[in-house]
């Protein structure tokens, strides 16, 4: 029986190189996607998957992220006085209960693997999720819910969400090598036989890239504690998972949904349009606005 996945690590300490200068003073993950910061969409996806504790791995100067999930007394009092109930509810919807969020400082940008390792004491000895907040997933059920379902179906195995890389772009990502298909999941859940971070073009073992949701056993921390560097001179989560693959099962789930890479301006634009068009209250207005812009283009 799989243990319940209660905690998620959200690494946000990256420099946001591909989206500068937009992320110079506003932390990248606080950039807006339709009606709230991209990070708030990802936390909502985590809550829907049963996550009760979010460990956010911050870099220097990222305090605004802590403030976003806290009360804003002046704003809330002002909205209350003016009777702006709907706005007040929207503002409060993203708040978590006290104690449901921890903030950990990654003191140097040494890589994704290092960021996850920074959360080890708070995760402890239980399975946990990793969510990369700039990879926004539009899916029902959510991307992490699908991964947790696969984790449970496999009796508690490690699960990594994957999807086909755009042609010619596989070398920019972590790429998986696959073996046998697991029964159910419409053939979309397969045992992993290998993985490689940013393979040189032409050497990719498949076109399926790791797209930003993971359910991992705590054993990965042991592999990460070696602090071995890999692609780009960084401590890579993919390398640590590969090490564990020798002794633990790993599955790749080709999830059912659409991913927007909000770490670059066009991905962020696409996410904004997509999330506006699926909004129950604003879809018609959003469609009219997009069509008006296109009509002038
Ligand atoms: C990270 C991971 C990579 C994954 C990618 C998804 O890379 O290391 O395996 O495919 O996120 O966005 P990064 O984007 O930090 O280079």
The DSSP output letter for 23 is T
Tokens linked to 76: 């809330």
Each residue's pLDDT tens digit, 65-122: 999 999 999 999 999 999 999 999 999 999 999 999 999 999 999 999 999 999 999 9
Could you identify the atom of ligand 1 that is nearest to the CA of residue 197? 9
The string of pLDDT tens digits covering residues 166-214 is 999 999 999 999 999 999 899 999 999 999 999 999 999 999 999 999 9
pLDDT category of residue 285 using cuts at 50, 70 and 90: very high
How large is the average pLDDT for residues 2-30?
Answer: 92
Q: Does a cis peptide bond (omega within 30 degrees of 0) precede residue 21?
A: yes
Q: Which of 173, 204, 239, 267 to mutate to test the pocket of ligand 1 (most atoms within 8 A of CB)?
A: 173
Residue with CA nearest ligand 1 atom 16? 173
Reported as a single tens digit per residue, the pLDDT across 30-72 is 999 999 999 999 999 999 999 999 999 999 989 999 999 999 9
Distance 235 CA to ligand 1 centre (A): 12
Residue 177 is classified by DSSP as E
Per-residue model confidence (pLDDT) at position 186: 94
pLDDT above 90: residue 157: yes
pLDDT band at 155 (very low <50, low <70, confident <90, very high): very high
The model's pLDDT over 232-264, given as tens digits with 9 standing for 90+, comes to 999 999 999 999 999 999 999 999 999 999 999
CATH class (in words) of the domain with range 7-296: alpha beta
Ligand 1 binding pocket, CB closer than 6 Å: 112, 132, 135, 173-174, 197, 209-212, 236-238
- Of the candidates 204, 140, 155, 148, the residue with the CA atom closest to the CA atom of residue 177: 204
On whether the CB atoms of residues 275 and 33 are closer than 8 A, the answer is: yes
Q: What is the pLDDT of residue 113?
A: 98
**Mean model confidence pLDDT for the chain:** 95
Helix or strand holding residue 114 (H, E): helix 112-117
């Amino acid at each position: 029986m799989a243990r319940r996945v209660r905690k998620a690590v959200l690494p946000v300490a990256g420099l946001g190189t591909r989206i500068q200068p937009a992320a110079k003073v506003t932390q990248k993950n606080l950039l807006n996607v339709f009606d709230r910061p991209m990070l708030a969409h990802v936390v909502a996806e985590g809550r829907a998957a049963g996550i009760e504790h979010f460990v956010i791995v911050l870099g220097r100067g990222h305090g605004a992220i802590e403030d976003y999930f806290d009360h804003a007394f002046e704003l809330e009092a002002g909205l209350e006085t003016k009777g702006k109930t709907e706005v007040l509810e929207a503002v409060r919807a993203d708040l978590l209960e006290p104690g449901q969020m921890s903030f950990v400082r990654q003191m140097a940008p040494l890589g994704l693997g290092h960021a996850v390792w920074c959360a080890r004491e708070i995760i402890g000895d239980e399975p946990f999720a990793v969510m990369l907040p700039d990879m926004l997933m539009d899916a029902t059920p959510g991307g992490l819910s699908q991964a947790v379902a696969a984790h449970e179906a496999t009796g508690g195995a490690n699960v990594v969400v994957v999807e086909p890389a755009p042609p010619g772009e596989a070398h920019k990502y972590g790429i998986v090598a696959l073996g046998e298909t697991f029964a159910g999941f419409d053939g979309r859940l397969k045992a992993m036989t290998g993985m490689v971070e940013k393979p040189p073009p032409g050497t990719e073992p498949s076109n399926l890239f790791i797209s930003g949701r993971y359910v991992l056993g705590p054993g990965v921390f042991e592999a990460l504690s070696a602090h071995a560097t890999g692609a780009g001179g960084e401590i890579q989560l993919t390398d640590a998972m590969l090490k564990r693959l020798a002794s633990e099962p790993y599955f790749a789930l080709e999830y059912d949904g659409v991913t927007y890479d909000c770490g670059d301006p066009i991905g962020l634009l696409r996410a904004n349009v997509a999330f506006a068009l699926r909004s129950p209250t604003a879809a018609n207005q959003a469609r009219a606005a997009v069509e008006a812009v296109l009509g002038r283009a």
